[in-house]
């Protein structure tokens, strides 16, 4: 006889994890003024909060990535640290992620961007388009998420209204796996349930180009995520209503 407790012991497939894929650290992002926001403190806090996956995504810098991974080593199996970076492109901010064993690929990727300005500064940037940066990350084995697409000045959707060829190039990039939104109301942008209003119709036209890319067959949908974009330990541990917190 099969008992209910026996069924409960069998993996049913789905598992929900608490993650934060957008975190800045002290000493790597120059706009982080909280000296307590070290990579070690971030890992310790993430463990305390029960986060399963985090990514250190400093502005145009990978300076603290290795330190976070090393500090998390004794807790392998409890938490996964993804090497990441937030790149300032010609079309807004882009989050790029690599496998934990590919920190050197992250460094090589950054070296290919011809960054103007010091690493870690939020006004440092590359002249390359977001689509070109996504392609470069893909060549190095990385995947990308367009950062806070609904944020003024730094979100690519806010750069210009309507159908733009450069927007189409971003959304149809095989290396783009998702979009990050600050506002809950924006989480359906670039999806099959986008706003039926005029702006939503234009986004839908762009989104539908993904289905036409041969390499995206079966992967034309985009993940819609929210990250804390934390610059202080207090915000990381206690997200405000204005800060979406952990995904």
Average pLDDT, integer, range 7-21: 81
Mean pLDDT of the chain: 92
From CA 235, how far away is CA 17, in angstroms rounded?
Answer: 20
Contacts for 186 with CB less than 8 Å, ≥ 6 apart: 149, 150
Strands 223-225 and 176-180: parallel
- The predicted pLDDT at position 124 comes to 97
Hey, which residues does 87 pair with through a beta bridge?
A: 94
The yes-or-no verdict on residue 9 having pLDDT over 90 is no
Query: In the prediction, which pLDDT does 86 show?
Result: 98
The pLDDT score that the predictor gives to residue 246 is 57
Give the burial string for 166-202 (b: 16+ CB within 10 Å, else e): ebbbbbbbebbbbbbbbeeebbebbbeebeeeeebeb
Six-digit token string for 183: 């506002």
The per-residue pLDDT for 2 is 67
Q: DSSP class of residue 114?
A: -
Beta strand residue intervals within the chain, DSSP E: 19-23, 53-56, 80-89, 92-97, 143-146, 176-180, 223-225
Please determine, for residue 15, whether its predicted confidence score (pLDDT) is greater than 80. no
Per-residue pLDDT, averaged over 121-138, amounts to 96
Q: Is the predicted pLDDT of residue 65 greater than 70, yes or no?
A: yes
The average pLDDT across 9-26 equals 87
Average pLDDT over residues 4-16: 76
Q: Mean of the pLDDT values across residues 93-115?
A: 97
Residue of 20, 205, 4 lying closest to 97 (CA atoms): 20
Model confidence at 159, pLDDT cuts 50, 70, 90, reads: confident
Write down the pLDDT at residue 169: 96
Q: Say whether 42 sits in a helix, a strand or coil.
A: helix
Please work out, in degrees rounded to the nearest 5, the angle formed at the alpha carbon of residue 146 by the alpha carbons of 145 and 150: 135
Q: What pLDDT digit, counting tens, does each position of 236-247 carry?
A: 998 765 555 555
To the question of domain 18-237 being in CATH 3.40.50.720, the answer is: no
Q: Where residue 118 falls among pLDDT bands split at 50, 70, 90? A: very high
Token pair recorded at residue 132:
């070109």
Residue 80: which pLDDT band, with cuts at 50, 70 and 90? very high
Nearest to 114 by CA among 104, 124, 122: 124
List pLDDT tens digits, range 168-199. 999 999 999 999 999 999 999 999 999 999 99
Distance CA 106, CA 231 (A): 21
- pLDDT at position 161: 78
* CB contact at 8 A, 177 and 145: yes
């Amino acid at each position: 006889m099969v008992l209910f407790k026996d069924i409960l012991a069998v993996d049913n497939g789905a598992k929900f994890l608490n993650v934060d894929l957008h975190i800045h650290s002290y000493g790597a992002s120059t706009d982080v003024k909280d000296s307590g926001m070290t990579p070690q403190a971030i890992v310790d806090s993430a463990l305390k909060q029960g986060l399963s996956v985090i990514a250190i995504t400093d502005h145009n810098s990978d300076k603290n990535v290795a330190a976070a991974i090393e500090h998390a080593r004794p807790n392998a199996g409890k938490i996964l640290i993804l090497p990441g970076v937030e790149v300032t492109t010609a079309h807004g901010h882009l989050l790029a992620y690599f496998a934990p064993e590919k920190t050197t690929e992250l460094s090589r990727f950054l070296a290919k961007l011809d960054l103007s300005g010091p690493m870690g500064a939020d006004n440092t940037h590359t002249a390359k388009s977001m689509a070109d940066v996504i392609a470069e990350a893909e060549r190095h084995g990385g995947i990308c998420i367009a950062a806070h697409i609904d944020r003024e000045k730094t979100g690519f959707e806010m750069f210009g209204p309507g159908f733009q060829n450069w927007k189409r190039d971003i959304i149809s990039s095989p290396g783009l796996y998702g979009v990050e939104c600050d506002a809950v109301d924006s989480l359906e942008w670039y999806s099959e349930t986008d706003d039926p209003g005029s702006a939503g119709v234009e986004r839908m036209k762009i989104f539908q180009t993904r289905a036409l890319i041969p390499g995206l067959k079966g992967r034309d949908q985009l993940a819609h995520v929210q990250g804390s974009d934390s610059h202080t330990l207090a915000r990381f541990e206690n997200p405000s209503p204005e800060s979406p917190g952990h995904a």
